[in-house]
Amino acid sequence: MRSICLPVDLELPDLDRLDAIVGTRRSVRRGDALYRADDAFQSLYAVRSGSFKTVVVHRDGGEQVTGLFLPGDPLGLDGVCHDAHACDAVALEDSSVCVIPFALFDAFCHDVKPMQRHFYRMMGSAIVRESNLLMVLGTMTAEQRVAAFLLNLSERFRTRGYSPTAFSLRMTREEMGSYLGIKLETVSRMFSKFQKDGLLETQGKSIHLLDLEGLARI
Amino acid sequence: MRSICLPVDLELPDLDRLDAIVGTRRSVRRGDALYRADDAFQSLYAVRSGSFKTVVVHRDGGEQVTGLFLPGDPLGLDGVCHDAHACDAVALEDSSVCVIPFALFDAFCHDVKPMQRHFYRMMGSAIVRESNLLMVLGTMTAEQRVAAFLLNLSERFRTRGYSPTAFSLRMTREEMGSYLGIKLETVSRMFSKFQKDGLLETQGKSIHLLDLEGLARI
DNA sequence: CGAATTCTTGATACCGATCAATAGATGTGG
DNA sequence: CCACATCTATTGATCGGTATCAAGAATTCG
């Protein structure tokens, strides 16, 4: 878990100090928010178990899912900008996070160069992840979006040591659709199509990918 | 200019050190790249004059414009993640940038806390900017996208002290379309429609917004 | 178990893509 | 500085992919 979350070589005294900073845990029930847009930014979080979505809420109530976070993913970086969070972070299932008070974390980064470097990487990763999503929303058909989404998940589960071909997805079709810029019915239709083509099997929330290469060719 | 680019109060010795770091200038001709995806990440940049677009290139040649950068905007943050840039940065017109060697800048941030803080803000802003674009691409109609784009530009010109209602836009319709996830013909049609409705006047690259509130209502 | 939410599937409508042709702008070399 | 070639923009006609509307089935959760 730490290898995903903090792939940094730290010596013992530093490691203890970090453990003290990250000490607190917090549980969030399915559907509850870890933080909301305009909440004061005080802490970063690391997903320990479960999963989260981040959503931007438009003035006229329109919601856009902008991120999906799995165990090990850092959460809350959107708040670094203006001392307030820019989106809501909502648990997709009963979940828990590590709380990382930013003031302490920042001071720690100041003293420990590899940690500073890793923090930069986390911020950079968030930027690149969103760029990739822009690419998906800007250039792909509905079919390609769903395929790209599944392949991305597969890869992320793989790096976490879980099966890259069989996993359970706690998002609803509607949330996936929002994330991908399409409607829930379209998501459902694409799943049906892929199933018909022998690329995957679905049974409710659990998904079994049968042909990763086939999905990649779409 | 510095007030956009570095809104930080620095004392004199620090200011001199920063000037030394930022010393170098670089000119980029229209259509040329300041950097390309996979180039080694060595420097950040600040736009001095002109404008840039960032583009992500898909394996099958598909291009997606992911950002538009005006004077004062920081450029290159996408490279902080993996020691290599994640996109191309291309000049939309003959332009110039300040070159900020990252190693020196990082050391400076380490010593000067307000600067560190400002760097965090820049990274955070990049994340929030992309979230907003995700919102545009995920939830808005073509008409709304073009209106939102023009209003965003208007606001950015305003904060820079330029006219918020009359400006010249060096992007082609195709580039705007790529940025907004629609085709160039659709961009053109929306401009024509807005013109018919008395919301703006266009003449080639120069745009005159006549009714900001009307655009916002769309 | 039972109510509520979520999912699937079908029929139809509409927005934006595509194809195409003309007009206008931009830049280059004579 | 003009003439020509090229790139860019506009506008129209048509097509297709997704959204929308609707109904019923499956799943989830209290």
Tell me what pLDDT residue A130 has.
92
Q: What is the mean pLDDT of residues B110-130?
A: 89
Q: In chain B, which residues have their Cβ closer than 8 Å to the Cβ of A138? A: 64-65, 137, 178-181
Q: Structurally, how many domains does chain A consist of?
A: 2
Please determine, for residue B3, whether its predicted confidence score (pLDDT) is greater than 80.
Answer: no
Please tell me which residue of chain B has the smallest CA distance to A145: B138
Whether B23 and B131 share a structural domain: yes
Q: How far is the CA of B199 from the C1' of C21 (A)?
A: 29
With beta carbons less than 8 A apart as the criterion, state whether A37 and A54 touch. Answer: no
Whether A108 and A39 share a structural domain: yes
Q: How far is the CA of B145 from the C1' of D9 (A)?
A: 19
Map residue B95 onto helix, strand or coil.
strand
Tell me what pLDDT residue A5 has.
66
| CA A5 and chain centroid, separation | 12
Nearest-CA distance A172 → chain B (Å): 17
Whether A39 and A64 share a structural domain: yes
Distances (CA, A) of A15 to A22, A23, A100, A114: 10, 12, 14, 12
- Give the structural domain span for B130: 2-136
Whether A13 and A68 share a structural domain: yes
pLDDT-derived band of residue A207, with 50, 70 and 90 as boundaries? very high
| Strand segments (E) across A41-194 | 43-49, 52-57, 63-69, 74-75, 88-91, 95-101, 166-168
Whether A180 and A92 share a structural domain: no
Mean pLDDT rounded to a whole number for chain A: 91
With beta carbons less than 8 A apart as the criterion, state whether A53 and A69 touch. Answer: yes
Q: In chain A, which residues have their Cβ closer than 8 Å to the Cβ of B139? A: 58, 62-64, 181
Please determine, for residue B9, whether its predicted confidence score (pLDDT) is greater than 90.
Answer: no
CATH code of the domain containing A153: 1.10.10.10
Whether A91 and A149 share a structural domain: no
Residue A149 and residue A167: Cα distance in Å, rounded? 13
Whether A159 and A193 share a structural domain: yes
Please determine, for residue B36, whether its predicted confidence score (pLDDT) is greater than 90.
Answer: yes
With beta carbons less than 8 A apart as the criterion, state whether A194 and A200 touch. Answer: yes
Tell me what pLDDT residue B33 has.
93
Whether A87 and A56 share a structural domain: yes
Whether A151 and A129 share a structural domain: no
Tell me what pLDDT residue A54 has.
95
Q: Report how far apart the first and last C-alpha atoms of chain A are (Å, whole number).
A: 33
Map residue B2 onto helix, strand or coil.
helix
* Protein-contacted bases of chain C (C-beta within 7 A): 6-11, 15-20, 24-27
Q: Which residue is nearest to nucleotide D29 (CA to C1')?
A: A30
Question: Which of the listed residues A97, A117, A136 is the one where a domain comes to its end?
Answer: A136
Tell me what pLDDT residue A22 has.
87
Q: How many CB pairs under 8 A join A and B?
A: 128
Residue A5 and residue B82: Cα distance in Å, rounded? 16
> Which of left, alpha, beta for A97 (phi over 0: left; psi -120 to 50: alpha)?
beta
Question: Which of the listed residues B136, B156, B178 is the one where a domain comes to its end?
Answer: B136
Nearest-CA distance B117 → chain A (Å): 9
Whether A67 and A96 share a structural domain: yes
CATH code of the domain containing A8: 2.60.120.10
Please determine, for residue A27, whether its predicted confidence score (pLDDT) is greater than 70.
Answer: yes
Q: What is the mean pLDDT of residues A8-17?
A: 82
% of chain A exceeding 70 in pLDDT: 97
Cβ of A110 under 8 Å from any chain B Cβ? yes
Please determine, for residue B7, whether its predicted confidence score (pLDDT) is greater than 70.
Answer: no
Whether B91 and B196 share a structural domain: no
Please determine, for residue A25, whether its predicted confidence score (pLDDT) is greater than 80.
Answer: yes
Q: What is the mean pLDDT of residues B191-214?
A: 93
Tens of pLDDT, residues A142-182: 999 999 999 999 999 999 899 999 999 999 999 999 999 99
Tens of pLDDT, residues A28-76: 999 999 999 999 999 999 999 999 999 998 877 778 999 999 999 999 9
Question: Which of the listed residues A79, A106, A136 is the one where a domain comes to its end?
Answer: A136
Distances (CA, A) of A157 to A74, A168, A177, B72: 15, 11, 20, 40
Q: In chain A, which residues have their Cβ closer than 8 Å to the Cβ of B133? A: 134
Whether A171 and A198 share a structural domain: yes
